[in-house]
Amino acid sequence: MDELIELSQRALGEIPASVPVPRYDRKALRPGIVHIGLGNFHRAHQAWYTHRLMQMGLAQDWAIIGAGVRQGDRAMRDRLLAQDCLTTLIELDPAGKTAEVTGAMVDFLPVQHDNAALIARMAQADIRIVSLTVTEGGYYLDPETGGLDTGHDDIRHDAEHPATPRTSFGAILAALRLRHAQGAGPFTCLSCDNLQGNGDILRRTVVGLARLSDPALADWIEAEVSFPNSMVDCIVPSTGPREIALARGFGIADAAPVTHEKYRQWVIEDGFCAGRPDWGLVGAVFTPDVHSYETMKIRILNGGHQVICGAGELLALDTIAACMAHEGIRAMFRKIASEEIAPHVPAVPDISALAYIDLIESRFANPEIHDTTRRVAFDGSSRHAGFLVPSIRAGLAKGTPVQGLALVAALWARSCLGLRENGTPIEANDPLWPLLQTAASAAHVTPAAWLEQVPIYHDVKGAPKFAEAFCRWYADLAAHGTDAVIGHYTGQQAG
């Protein structure tokens, strides 16, 4: 490109004609959604669906306001406000790259310690949906009960200081309290995180927090506020110099472009107490049976990511595509997904579990998607517990193989020692990293010590079939290395 266009509302008319831009009048848009935890995934997924409706002349009163509760969200806010909250989306497909500029987002609230601006905006009656992407481990769940972890410092703070909360859930609660007092009515709380029953989990978190300080408000929330379950799916890498350079290749200087794969899926329960955009017109699926879609996606895609990323870290493979280009890792993924995960995954309309494995294998292997192994491995303590342990539990209950899943646990445990097989360090990559390193060090002497992490392994830790396989694989990895052990697993009979 001869000249770069600095992305802004004013410059949209100068964007190269090959890049579609918003056709709607963004100044006339009216907010209807606040999204908390606004990062790349939201902009490539939920915001894209809303943008597509706006391109059709619809959903003009459902513009999105971004929000964050972490200090790190300030940098994203600064970047997006500087370009009028526009985003360059770059689709990475082996057949070729394409780009578009989306504009469904119109503002990003100040990020404050007391969340005052966020609370005030959510309390206004025009906001009818508050959606979230706060990661799988961000819901303050008690691993033993599945309910709210009332002993957590942040939760205790929000219960004792409900007007100046630290958490997104405390902010939601404070806004609902104001709306209830003002007669503004409820809004829908929509989780877009990779959690099975994410709406149910969000309900437990918000209502559980309310009961600590205002039981009457908790009753009103349970009766009036809706928390639909949803399943979201699109591989969206982090943004770095490579992604910024890709945007520049389309002639656009964008400080926060987003790359994504061609595939998207959004399955939602149709329970919105204050209305919703008609996302079904642009490909979303509304169904009362989100659970089956969730199970397939979380067990095979999210679980599959965890299957390969531990080995990828140990072998210093930087991306998921590089992991899938490794013959042994790809064979391991295929064997575990087909023999140890798929038998416990029901079919959904139009696709079986085995056909879904084919789809996921091709998506993981897409060489255009620069999805880092480190990103996928992040927060393994939550992701193994949520994405893999249910398959282990089902295999133990039904007498199907769990050897491969035990190998995955052993690979992850080895990676938590913090050293790759080429001698380079694996940097801290989990909120519980010090605890994981302590457990990994203990496992280096006594492998079974790794499984004593009850919040992760719960009831499966003592199952002899799983524990014995884990200990055997762990010892083999220490003695022979990752390549040899994966080769041994993929060459043996399942059992």
DSSP SS3 for 229: coil
Edge-to-edge strand list for the sheet holding 265-268: 230-233, 265-268, 285-286
Q: Collect all residues with Cβ–Cβ distance below 8 Å to 175 and sequence separation of at least 6.
A: 118, 119, 120, 122, 123, 130, 187
**Residue 64 CB partners (closer than 8 Å, separation 6+):** 31, 33, 34, 35, 46, 47, 50, 104, 105, 106
Which position has the token pair 């209305």? Answer: 275
Nearest to 252 by CA among 44, 12, 45: 12
- The span from the CA of 187 to the CA of 125, in Å, is 9
Residue pair 306/317 in contact by the 8 Å Cβ criterion: no
Burial tier of 272 (Cβ tally within 10 Å: 0-12, 13-18, 19+): middle
Looking at residue 64, the DSSP 8-state letter turns out to be E
> Which are the contacts of 397, defined by CB distance < 8 A and separation ≥ 6?
none
CATH number of this structure's domain 5-288, picked from the four choices 3.40.50.300, 3.40.50.12780, 3.10.450.50, 3.40.50.720:
3.40.50.720
Q: With contact defined as beta carbons under 8 Å apart, do 92 and 368 qualify? A: yes
Say if 5-288 and 291-491 have the same CATH topology: no
Between CA 43 and CA 278 the distance in angstroms is: 18
Going by C-alpha positions, the residue among 84, 44, 19, 25 that lies closest to residue 252 is: 19
Q: Determine what percent of the chain is predicted with pLDDT higher than 90.
A: 93
Dihedral, 341, 346, 350, 353 alpha carbons, nearest 10: 10
Q: List the chain residues with pLDDT less than 50.
A: 1, 493-495
Long-range contacts of 69-76 (CB under 8 A, 24+ apart): 69/36, 69/37, 69/111, 69/115, 69/118, 69/166, 69/167, 69/168, 69/171, 70/111, 71/111, 73/37, 73/38, 73/111, 74/111, 76/38, 76/39, 76/108, 76/256
Cα 410 to Cα 404: distance, rounded to the nearest angstrom: 10
Beta-carbon count within 10 A of 157 CB: 15
Dihedral sign computed on CA atoms, order 235, 241, 242, 248:
positive
CA distance 241 to 246: 9
What does the pLDDT read at residue 493? 38
Between CA 351 and CA 334 the distance in angstroms is 17
Question: Of 193, 202, 320, which is closest to residue 266 (Cα–Cα)?
Answer: 193
Per-domain residue ranges for the chain? 5-288, 291-491
CA-to-CA distance for 128 and 368, rounded, in angstroms? 37
Longest C-alpha distance within the chain, in Å? 67
DSSP states along 80-124: HHHTTT-EEEEEEETTEEEEEEE--EEEE----TT-HHHHHHHTS
Instruction: Give the DSSP letter string of 371-412.
Output: -BHHHHHTTHHHHIIIIIHHHHHHHHHHT---HHHHHHHHHH
Q: Determine contact, residues 180/217, Cβ cutoff 8 Å.
A: yes
What superfamily in CATH does domain 291-491 come from?
N-(1-d-carboxylethyl)-l-norvaline Dehydrogenase; domain 2 (1.10.1040.10)
- The reported pLDDT for the residue numbered 494 is 38
- Structure pTM? 0.87
Query: How far is residue 36 CA from its own chain's centroid?
Result: 13
C-alpha–C-alpha distance, residues 381 and 395, integer Å: 20
361 CB-contact burial (10 Å; exposed 0-12 / middle 13-18 / buried 19+)? middle
